[in-house]
Structure 1
Amino acid sequence: MLGEVLGKDALTRRERIVMANHFDAQDKPRVVLYGTKWCGYCKAQRELFEEKKIPFEDVDVEASEAGAIAYNALEGSGYPLTYVGYRRFGGYKEAEILAAVDELTKKPQANLR
């Protein structure tokens, strides 16, 4: 939330490094899902993104050391942990995440980083 409101200067160095992956080369927010293979809610969220044709980065925090480091830097405490740019969603929150993704398509959000 701080990053969305105050920009990257409000984040720690570790958070800035991780959050850089939440934006593309043109500073457009991306959807990033931090989860595991065994989590049923993670599976449901992946299926939702695929069904709605929402491009997302799927970070398995148990299969990748970089994924685990990123998850810990973001102080994750449950699965899935989803980001839409700076916006954070803990757990499976279908309506909220879809609204955030929809907002991105309707409103350009340049210069967030």
Structure 2
Amino acid sequence: MPKILKTLLPWLLVPAFFFVGLQVGPRVANWYHAAFPPPAYTTGDHAALYAKAGTPVVLYATTTCPYCAKVRKLFAAHGVRYTEYKIDTDANANREFLARKGIGVPLLYIGDRRIDGYREDAILDALAALGGGAADRKS
């Protein structure tokens, strides 16, 4: 192999691999997320939260979030009694939201389940597992 090629080859391969990585990386990530989707919910013991809230359904939301509005509408349609904490208008609610490692709204706690985001099927399944709820809303 000529000496000039030995010298230039690493300088040519590094940008080539970088470019291939830029093109292939997102496709591999999309394939991975399609093959192994994140769970619709996680489970845990949320008894302390429910004791404070007074209901077994808790919603962390903002006043302007369209998906939070969808959750409210879904709860109203099913007569679910829930406690809502508005993290954009209540500093204590925001602190609790951050302490619970919330990264987006809506953040729902239903029975033993934590649901991040609006996932209608997961919400309805959690409500069915919980046994529904009474029709009045606490805020």
CA contact (8 A) 1:29 1:85 kept: no
Match of 2:118 among 86, 89, 92: 92
Displacement after TM superposition at 1:69 (Å): 1.1
Matched to 2:111, the amino acid is G
Change over 3 Å in CA distance of 1:85–1:23 after alignment to 2: farther
TM (norm. structure 2) is 0.58
Unaligned runs of 5+ residues in structure 2 are 1-41, 133-139
Say what the alpha-carbon RMSD is for the aligned residues.
2.5
Give distance in 2, aligned partners of 1:34 and 1:85: 15
CA contact (8 A) 1:84 1:100 kept: yes
Report the structure, 1 or 2, having the larger helix content. 2
Is structure 2 residue 101 aligned with structure 1 residue 75? yes
Residues 49-79 of structure 1: per-residue CA shift (max 9 Å, x gap): 0111011111100111111011001100011
Q: Which has the larger radius of gyration?
A: 2
Displacement after TM superposition at 1:86 (Å): 3.5
TM (norm. structure 1) is 0.70
| Identity between Structure 1 and Structure 2 (%) | 33
Equivalent in the alignment of 2:49: 21
Equivalent in the alignment of 1:63: 89
Higher relative contact order (CA 8 A, sep 6+): 1
CA contact (8 A) 2:44 2:114 kept: no
Give distance in 1, aligned partners of 2:83 and 2:55: 12
Equivalent in the alignment of 1:47: 73
